[in-house]
Chains A and B, each alone.
Chain A
């Protein structure tokens, strides 16, 4: 897939709470948002940042063709992302996109599919859910957060599939970590997962133990995003150290050398 450097403007910065924002971006030149699939990401330049330097890799939350907007769900994880979530409407953002590879597909359309997202890790799960639903798969989500106000885009998820929730404080769904949600114990053929590393490892462990196909989306610290700097590597059983930016960010857990 050809990669582009493209100027966007913030059509809408929907501030969800103090830690999260949904940025809806539209190309400055009025062109269509480029084709990209769920699991791919963009590299965002942070304008006027005084303390950051590199671009920020952000996974694609959705591409709204009707509105011609690219959605980025951003968590305040440091000075770069903080600057992004505080950005005013109509500010210009320079993006490199689309980067990395998307999620694969489960076999038959009757496959029982669970999309697991923790915190800002729900972002690619929404886009994947919309793709799978359009293709005729039944879609189920397991979403987790610290508290109910951090359960992001819940209404959107509800529109396309069945939603199971966990919050650490019990303010929505089941109380506790997502990895203990009873929905996990239902019968699944394919689990997709994105979230904090301990959560992904726990989900991967569950999937491996129960013989369920599982793909995770990694967010190793990266610089270039195009396979040049070799900083974001993950050790794999088939190819050794590979760049998460070009070989991933989506990996089947069978390729990873996680001790699970």
Chain B
């Protein structure tokens, strides 16, 4: 059987399939449906220094081949994570990666410092791309200066593998990727959601309480694949691809475009066991194409 192992700097994954932040809770929500230990990694819900209530309802609307969300980083804060969640998930035989978000640079730093000392957390994903918060989030991720500032500060506070999650809501995603690479990011993950909007024509109001929200699902996949392809050719650090992966073929598209690993997000809502099917498909694909290691086909698209 082909080897699915990949690594992102010092983060060793048994396979390239991770779950995207905000779509998989803390993993335990899916324990009835799948063997969590088969996953390459679990990226847990965006975590901030303080408890956040998130945005008012309604936060979600279905759109063609996708959905808009405006959750707004609802979470109970990093201390709650450390005290109540970490003990429940630290002994899973998969990598647990914490997605870190904040309104101010100091907030990112404070969360990084607290996570740096947790033995079983080998990596974080710095979220500079959440479109659903008024302060911080995407505001950092849409300029090179903003992205550099957060990554520089977080880098000093976190010694292990640091992935930076990029926003697609920019003119040139490669320049942001290069900026965070220059500040010491070990990897970039892309893409976060696209800023979108939907209007109820009967009430003539937006469907979301926040007016705009983040678009995810297969509708964004071709754009995400294109961005992964461009970024993989622009930086030397490994790229993690996500955006509308619904099956094994979709995951392979990202890998062939240059992603070392992938994240499955919205698809978890439709099939809670989809990640297992994707891993099965990758195994079957390697066998069928007589490939000994998935590493051989990363960026392997023939142009």
Contacts and interface: CB of A to CB of B under 8 A. Distances in A.
A221 B266 CA distance: 15
Contacts of B303: none
Contacts of B54: 230, 233, 241
A257 B273 CA distance: 35
B32 A228 contact: no
Size bin of chain B's contact surface: 20 to 34
Contacts of A221: 58, 60-61
Interface in B15-71: 22-25, 29-30, 32-33, 45, 53-54, 56-67, 69, 71
Given A2-B32, A4-B33, A230-B74, 5 more contacts: A226-B25, A226-B30, A229-B22, A233-B59, A235-B56
A225 B59 CA distance: 14
Interface of A: 2-5, 45, 51-55, 96, 220-235, 240-241, 246
A137 B33 CA distance: 36
A52 B62 contact: yes
B270 A227 contact: no
B59 A230 contact: yes
10 contacts: A3-B33, A45-B271, A53-B67, A54-B67, A55-B270, A224-B269, A228-B23, A228-B268, A229-B22, A230-B74
Contact of A229 (B65, B71, B217): B71
Contacts of A51: 64
A192 B58 CA distance: 24
Interface of B: 22-25, 29-30, 32-33, 45, 53-54, 56-67, 69, 71, 74, 217, 266, 268-273
Contacts of B65: 53
B30 A228 contact: yes
Contacts of B71: 229-231
Contact of A220 (B30, B57, B266): B57
Nearest to B70: A231
A258 to B, nearest CB: 12
